[in-house]
Amino acid sequence: MQAVVIGSGAGGAVAARELALRGIKTTVLEAGKAFRPLSRNIAKIRALRGFMFSEKLISLVFPPMKTYRTEQGLVLIRGISVGGCTTISCGNLLRAEKGMRELGLDLTPEYQHIEELLKPTPVPVKRWRPTTRAMYAAAQDLGLAPFAPSKAVSLARCVSCGLCELGCAARARWDASRFINDALKQGAQLITGARVTRILHHSMEATGVEYIHQRKKQQLPADIIVLAAGGIGTAALLHASGIENTPFFWGDIVLTLGGKKKNADQLHELPMVWCVQKDHYIISPYIDILSHFFHRPWRNVSLRDRVGVMVKLADTPNGRIQSPRDITKHITDLDYKRLDQGIAIASEIMQRAGVKGPFTRGILNAGHFGGTASLTKQDVPGMRPAWLPRRLWVADLSLLPSSQGLPTMLTTMALSLRVVRTALSHPA
Ligand SMILES: Cc1cc2nc3c(=O)[nH]c(=O)nc-3n(C[C@H](O)[C@H](O)[C@H](O)COP(=O)(O)OP(=O)(O)OC[C@H]3O[C@@H](n4cnc5c(N)ncnc54)[C@H](O)[C@@H]3O)c2cc1C
């Protein structure tokens, strides 16, 4: 039996690992290359601050990070490399479960399995910067019940450079390439720079994939095809293959409020060491690197003095992905209203902790893409949307219809594990 896994991010890596561990001949096709962190070369882009007028240019110095700006000015961030978006993540590992009860989906065994492998742990208070501690105390005083989320980070190795999203040069933060390595040890094959262009199928049965590698178009027949190209990549591939997908997506929109405090040095801690969880968003201390480098209103504050608090919103699913370069997405009035509510709380926390203005909002961005191959309640026992051709499985965040406003890596992995286990026990 030959399995092909498209994408090596959170979903693809778990799928490849599980298939290979079960002795199935597995090939992973990954559009990106092996991941290299930028963090060691931060001086390179520091020097460019002020000359780089668009966040799009980040991929010139840091090829794994790709951005796309929608008409409404929402910047969509993707990680295109071995490990996908996990390589540019903050390492938070939480169970994001919005909408799962309504679907009848309980991923407890899969969460437990992955948590057992990654052993997530919160960052101890002694490693937080003083301003972050003061903001935590302010959030407590406001009755917001802040908590420290668990992270997939080795604290012994972490050097608190704060640049997790530019890749972890200390190799302290877990990313999905480690699961890919486990798969390779079991005999799986990884082809990097292999961009899948089409799922081959006829009579509602998938038969393999077409991909471009070293400028040559190639085909790979397979008995099981696991599509895990991320919310955007998966939707684009289904569309290119003439397979209609769910006509909306969500992205967990992030907006960071920037303030100023002399020598706060907030960058020298891990991002998001505590969180406040409200119904539709979380609030968390965070320096938004993209805004620091590319957002004009943020230009006049140095990294040393910059203090940021983010609002991560469970946004309204809408819009459409035709290809990675043809995406529409609307930020609704309700989304703006909730973002404003979150920003007002962030501002109160910051001011109580002695952070000064001017308070400026950063770039509206999103990086958790889901919903494009949504499961319905009827689909859950078989873990595949009913409209997929046989033998084709989706194993990434695309499966989840509800936006989370929460870190989504763990949920993606748990979904993928359930999909592969189902595919092997009840082949479609
Ligand atoms: C900046 C940032 C920070 C984040 N921080 C956190 C965090 O701290 N905690 C957390 O839980 N979540 C975080 N997330 C979200 C999390 O990383 C994603 O939800 C998760 O990685 C999604 O997994 P996925 O498998 O759906 O997609 P991805 O991880 O994006 O993987 C998709 C893979 O498919 C590949 N691919 C795409 N198209 C093709 C194609 N045509 N052919 C072959 N390969 C293709 C891509 O190169 C990529 O490797 C963050 C996201 C971003 C952008």
pLDDT attached to residue 381: 97
The span from the CA of 281 to the CA of 89, in Å, is 18
Total residue length of the chain = 428
State the distance from the centre of ligand 1 to the C-alpha of 228, rounded, in angstroms. Answer: 9
C-alpha to C-alpha distances, 51 to 188, 287, 296, nearest whole angstrom: 44, 20, 11
How many angstroms does the Cα of residue 322 sit away from the middle of ligand 1? 18
410 Cα nearest atom in ligand 1: 11
**Residue 51: how many other CB atoms lie within 10 Å:** 9
Q: Is the distance from the beta carbon of residue 324 to the nearest atom of ligand 1 less than 6 Å?
A: no
Name, in order, each residue with C-beta under 8 angstroms of 8's C-beta and a sequence gap of 6 or more.
16, 28, 30, 32, 82, 83, 84, 176, 177, 180, 190, 228
Nearest atom (ligand 1) to Cα of 7: 34
Is the CB–ligand 1 distance for residue 8 below 6 Å?
Answer: yes
| Spacing, Cα 30 to ligand 1 middle (Å) | 12
Task: Determine if ligand 1 sits within 6 Å of the CB of residue 120.
Answer: no
User: Does residue 402 contact residue 99 with C-beta atoms inside 8 Å?
Assistant: yes
Q: How far is the CA of 33 from the centre of ligand 1 (A)?
A: 14
| 248, two tokens | 């909306």
Give the distance (Å) from ligand 1 centre to CA of residue 81.
9
Residues in the chain predicted with pLDDT less than 70, given as ranges, are 39-52
406 lines ligand 1 (CB under 6 A): no
Ligand 1 centroid to residue 79 C-alpha, Å: 6
pTM: 0.97
Report which protein residue has its CA nearest ligand 1's atom 2: 89
Residue 133: what pLDDT? Answer: 98
Per-residue pLDDT at 428 = 76
Output the residue whose Cα is nearest ligand 1's atom 15.
368
Ligand 1 centroid vs 19 CA: distance in angstroms?
A: 20
Q: Using the mean position of ligand 1's atoms as its centre, give its distance from the Cα of residue 82 in Å.
A: 10
Containing H/E element for 268?
Answer: none
In angstroms, rounded to a whole number, what is the distance separating the alpha carbons of residues 135 and 118?
Answer: 29
Q: Which position has the token pair 């006829």?
A: 202
Task: Walk across the sheet containing 189-192 and list its strands.
Answer: 189-192, 25-30, 2-6, 224-227, 392-394
What pLDDT digit, counting tens, does each position of 203-257 carry?
A: 999 999 999 999 999 999 999 999 999 999 999 999 999 998 888 999 999 999 9
Q: Which two tokens stand for residue 191?
A: 């082809």
Q: Identity (one letter) of the amino acid at 335? A: D
Using CA atoms, how far apart are residues 45 and 62, in angstroms rounded to an integer? 9
In short, whether 367's Cβ falls inside 6 Å of ligand 1 is: yes
Question: What's the pLDDT score for residue 293?
Answer: 87
Other beta carbons within 10 angstroms of residue 66's beta carbon come to 18
Judge if the beta carbon of residue 284 lies within 6 A of ligand 1.
no
Domain 2-425 sits in CATH 3.50.50.60: yes
